[in-house]
Amino acid sequence: MPVLSIGQSEIYYEDQGEGPAIVFAHGIGGNHASWYQQVAAFARSYRVITFDHRGFGRSTDVENAGRSAFESDLRALLDHLDISETVLVGQSMGGGTCISFATAYPERVRALVIASSLHAIAEPDDVAPLMDAARAATADMSQLERVLDATFRAANPEQAALYAAIASFNRVDRRSLTGTWPMLVAPEAVGGGKPVLFVAGLDDVLFPVEAVRRVQARVPGSFLVEISAGHSVFFERGDEFNDSVLSFLAACGIRGVRRSAHSNAAGYTAPAQ
C-alpha cells in the first residue's frame, strides 16, 4: 500500500498514468476513491495523483493536526513523488488545500481548478452575507443533503449510496475535523498569478453560485464554468466536469501525452427532473 510517513502519521496516495501531473484533492465527504470518474479519464493522457487527506480514507492523523497540516502534507507528497510542478484540482475542502498550497508555492503550480469551494479565501463584504445564509440554512442537513442535489439523489439512489459508502471510511467528518487554514487568501491573490478555473454547481447549497461568481470576478485572469448540479459537480456530472477541466488545461497549453481524454459525447443529457 503506497503511503508516505509524515511524523507519526501516514498519507495514502495513488499514482497512475503518464504525462503532466495533476493532483486531485477531495472534499470532507470523500477520499481518494471519490475521484473514480476522473482517474479513468485523465490517466489516459496525464499523470494522476489522488490521495487521502490526513484522517480520511486510508490516511491517519496521529498528531490530530487536521487541516492545519494539509498544505505541508501536499508539499511532502509532491517532494516524495519528485513532482516539481503540477496542476491542482481541489473539491470543496480540497479546494482550500490547493488554494493554500498555490499561495505558498506558486512556482510549483501550473494551473489551479477550484471546484465547489471558497475555502481558504477571505470573504469580501458582498460575499460574506451569502455564505452566512448558506451556512445557517445547511447547518442541520445530513451529509448527503449537503453534498448531493435532491433531484440527483432521487434519480440516482445507487450513486447516492455509493457516495455515502465512500464517506464511511473516513475517521473524521465536518464536525470533528480539527485545525485551521494557515491563512485566508484575498481573492485577488488566489492562484499566485497562475491560471485559475472555478467550477460551480448551479444548485450548490454550500457554496451558492452567486457567491462563487462574486469571488471569481475578483481573481485576475480566472474563468468560471457553471454546471447544473449540486455541491459535488465532479460526482453528479462527471463527463461535464472532466471536459470542462480538460478544455481549461488545453487553453493553458497543458496537453496530455496521448489521445484526447475528452468524453467526445455528442451532447449532455439534462438532469432528471
All three cell numbers of 121, joined, read 479565501
Regarding beta strands 196-201 and 223-227, do their DSSP bridges make them parallel or antiparallel, or are they unpaired?
parallel
Domain ranges of the chain: 3-251
With 80 as the cut, is the pLDDT of residue 258 above it? no
Range 78-99 average pLDDT: 98
Confidence of residue 261 (pLDDT cuts 50, 70, 90): confident
Alpha-carbon span 245 to 197, nearest angstrom: 8
> 232, 116 in Cβ contact below 8 A?
yes
> 179, 67 in Cβ contact below 8 A?
yes
Q: Tell me: the pLDDT tens digits for 116-152?
A: 999 999 999 999 999 999 999 999 999 999 999 999 9
Strand order of the β-sheet with 21-25 is 3-6, 9-16, 47-51, 21-25, 86-91, 109-115, 196-201, 223-227
- To the nearest whole number, what is the mean pLDDT of the chain? 95
With 70 as the cut, is the pLDDT of residue 266 above it? no
With 60 as the cut, is the pLDDT of residue 93 above it? yes
Q: Tell me: the pLDDT tens digits for 41-73?
A: 999 999 999 999 999 999 999 999 999 999 999
With 90 as the cut, is the pLDDT of residue 259 above it? no
Residue 107: DSSP 8-state: G
Q: Tell me: the pLDDT tens digits for 7-28?
A: 999 999 999 999 999 999 999 9
Total residues belonging to the chain: 273
Instruction: Say if pTM beats, i.e. exceeds, 0.85.
Output: yes
How far from each other are the two terminal CA atoms of the chain, in whole angstroms? 42
For the chain, give the longest Cα–Cα distance.
50
> 235, 148 in Cβ contact below 8 A?
yes
With 60 as the cut, is the pLDDT of residue 273 above it? no
Q: Tell me: the pLDDT tens digits for 179-226?
A: 999 999 999 999 989 999 999 999 999 999 999 999 999 999 999 999
Identify the pLDDT of residue 13: 98
What CATH number does the domain located at 3-251 have? 3.40.50.1820
Handedness of CA 79, 85, 91, 92 (dihedral sign): positive
Cite the DSSP H helix spans in the chain.
Answer: 36-42, 70-80, 93-104, 128-138, 143-147, 150-155, 157-167, 209-216, 233-236, 238-251
> 6, 73 in Cβ contact below 8 A?
yes
- Measured CA to CA in angstroms, residue 204 lies from 65, 70, 177, 232 at distances of 29, 24, 22, 8
> 113, 245 in Cβ contact below 8 A?
yes
With 80 as the cut, is the pLDDT of residue 271 above it? no
Alpha-carbon span 35 to 57, nearest angstrom: 13
All three cell numbers of 59, joined, read 490516511
Identify the pLDDT of residue 1: 81
With 90 as the cut, is the pLDDT of residue 267 above it? no
With 60 as the cut, is the pLDDT of residue 102 above it? yes
- Which position has the grid cell 508555492? 105
With 80 as the cut, is the pLDDT of residue 77 above it? yes
